[in-house]
Structure 1
Amino acid sequence: MTAHQSDLPAPAGFDVRTSDGAVLSAFVEGRGQPLLLVTGLGGGAAFWASIAETLARSFRVIRFDQRGIGASTRGSDACSIETLARDCLAVLNEAGIDRAVVLGHSTGGCIAQTLAHLAPERVGGLILSGSWLRPNHYMAGYFGARREIIGTNPEAYAATSVLCAYPPAWIEANWHVYEAALAAAPLTAVQQEVMRERIDALLAFDGRDQMAALTVPVLVLGARDDMIVPAFLQEEIVAALPGCAKTMLDTGGHLFPVSRPDAFTATVADWISRLA
């Protein structure tokens, strides 16, 4: 790590306006090589808050609420993985960053893959965390079921987001995370529609063709006990990218960046330092 945390300024917020009228709420903190953090299905910058605080000791960290999530407005474009990738470019442009390492978790990994395909000159390295390459039966079944229950029982939708995402013992020891998820359940029709279209986008993603042309360095991260994006899906990415780096944690569940923050941030920081 290159700087003591107390020497770093607080995160600075800025707004990003897209061509279709969305306004994205973004944050930048730290100093050094730029690192863009791209959230998964939930889409909120808050997912990265404590992780960004750690990584900001070594990097200039950028994160943002994706369109329709948190403080960001929806805009008029269809919500596809490509649209979300172009939003990442808009964030980098507004932040004045020509080239960044891009770290995407879960759906964020699909967005990151697409960003690297659309603008490879803007991506200095790609970290695919708990992500996948192509449509598969397992994820269609899991996310399809969640899509069906969001309108009839949003609290159950929120509960499954936690109960399937972490090791049971971790949830028991961090029960406030479960309670916070229930309190933030998507109760309004607008919130529910945003989540449905995001689920549709992730299920439609197929990165096989664009992965074949990928030229940037890649690190694949996963957890062997992930029940949302199982480890065999990370292994498919590795098989498609001979020579890429891979780290698989034994435990942590799908949201291992939260449940295993020390291992996660250390792995990320070490890999990026090796790029130099």
Structure 2
Amino acid sequence: MGLLAGMCAMEYHQITRTADRTRLAVQVRGTGPALLILPGQANNHHWWDRIRADFAEHHTTITFDYRGTGGSDLGAAPYTTQLFADDALAVLDSLDIDRFDAYGTSMGGRTAQWVAARAQRRVGRLVLGCTTPGGTHAVERDQAVRRALASANATAFMTDLMYTPEWQELNPGPYATLGDPRITPEARRRHLAASNGHDAWAVLPDIAAPTFILHGSDDRFAPVVNAEILAGRIPKANTRIFDGARHAYFDECHPEAGPAVLDFLAR
């Protein structure tokens, strides 16, 4: 793995410049095979804080802050999931990582679809969580959810979309999955446009990597039917549904979800 050979388990930070000279904040932690992990819309690498250690025990985990979040520049518009995929590959190139696995959740799963389709030789295994193919083939959230997310009480509603009430009671937060607290309104609009504009349907059959698709059964943010839609379109795909879980299944169900992903990656 070139630059990362011999790295210890401490976290390593660097700035990667993209082809358009946008500065991206990069974080690397752990040892072992490279694992790119991609967060959800309008979030930075802290999305993974509660569960990253599970993966860093076995993998060199690579994250970066999307444009407009964390320590990264706003960069040029428009934002698309294809642009985020190009950014991810630029980060891996800057670290001299050729071969890697990828795990993306929510908008990160949309981005990971493009990464796997565009870098077929480089992606060993792919994990897609709580995500959709986008476009007309996806089943999107209903209008009631859209209206609630635009309301004055959107944060509380978003928390309920992510986690069950029972889990919230035992784990009162704060939750790093609710968005970068320092994101600007302009960056948030660009992220929303990227997620809403995603449509990878045409390239999903090009994904060569064995793929593991995970979803919560009670996900209203990205309805669970999308897991089967993706599995029917990606050639070597299997699914696992977490009964009763919502959008942040990877956090709430991590005692089961983490080992399931690690087992898949180790095969």
In the superposition, the TM-score normalised over structure 1's length comes to 0.85
Give the equivalent residue in structure 2 for 1:22. 22
Matched, 1:163 2:160: yes
Q: CA, structure 1 residues 110+50, in 2 after alignment: closer, same or farther (shift >3 Å)?
A: same
Q: Per the alignment, in what secondary structure is the counterpart of residue 162 of structure 2?
A: coil
How far has the Cα of 1:174 moved from its partner? 2.0
2:253 corresponds to 1:253: no
Gaps of 5+ in 1: 1-6
Change (3 A) 1:122 1:148: same
1:21/1:76 contact within 8 Å kept: no
Partner in structure 1 of residue 48 of structure 2: 48
The alignment-based identity, stated in percent, is 26
**Per-residue displacement from partner, 1:24-45 (whole Å, max 9, x unpaired)?**
1111111111100001113310
Q: How does 1:156-235 map to 2 (within 5 A)?
A: 156-177=153-174, 185=181, 191-235=184-228
**Amino acid paired to 1:138:** E
Query: Counterpart amino acid of 2:98?
Result: D
Change beyond 3 A, Cα 1:161–1:119:
same
Secondary structure class of the residue paired with 2:226: helix
Distance change (3 Å), C-alpha of 1:183 and 1:47: closer
C-alpha spacing 1:256/1:197, structure 2 compared with 1 (3 Å): same
The number of aligned residues is 259
Distance 1:19 1:148 in 2: 34
Structure 1 residue runs of 4 or more that deviate by more than 6 Å after TM superposition: 180-184
Q: Counterpart in 1 of 2:32?
A: 32
Query: When you count helix as a share of all residues, which structure comes out higher?
Result: 1
- 1:211-270 deviation per Cα after TM superposition (whole angstroms, max 9, x unaligned): 122222111111112121121111111122354121111133111111112212101110
2:125 partner SS: strand
Question: Match for residue 233 of structure 2?
Answer: 240
Q: Which has the higher contact order (CA 8 A, sep 6+)?
A: 2
Aligned alpha-carbon RMSD (Å)? 2.4
- Cα deviation, 1:24-73, whole Å, max 9, x if unaligned, reads 11111111111000011133101112322111111111111111001111
Aligned partner of 2:3 in structure 1 is none
SS at 2:259 equivalent: helix
Contact 1:24 1:67 in 2 (8 A): yes
Describe the superposition over 1:175-216 as per-residue Cα deviations: whole angstroms up to 9, x where unpaired: 2336x7889656xxx711211221121111111100122222
CA distance in 2, matches of 1:54, 1:167: 22
Please report how far the alpha carbon of residue 97 of structure 1 lies from its aligned counterpart in structure 2 after TM superposition.
0.5
The SS at the match of 1:176 is coil
Q: Which residue of 2 aligns with 1:105?
A: 105
- Please tell me the residue identity of whatever aligns with 1:161: M
Distance change >3 Å, CA 243–CA 84, structure 1 → 2:
closer
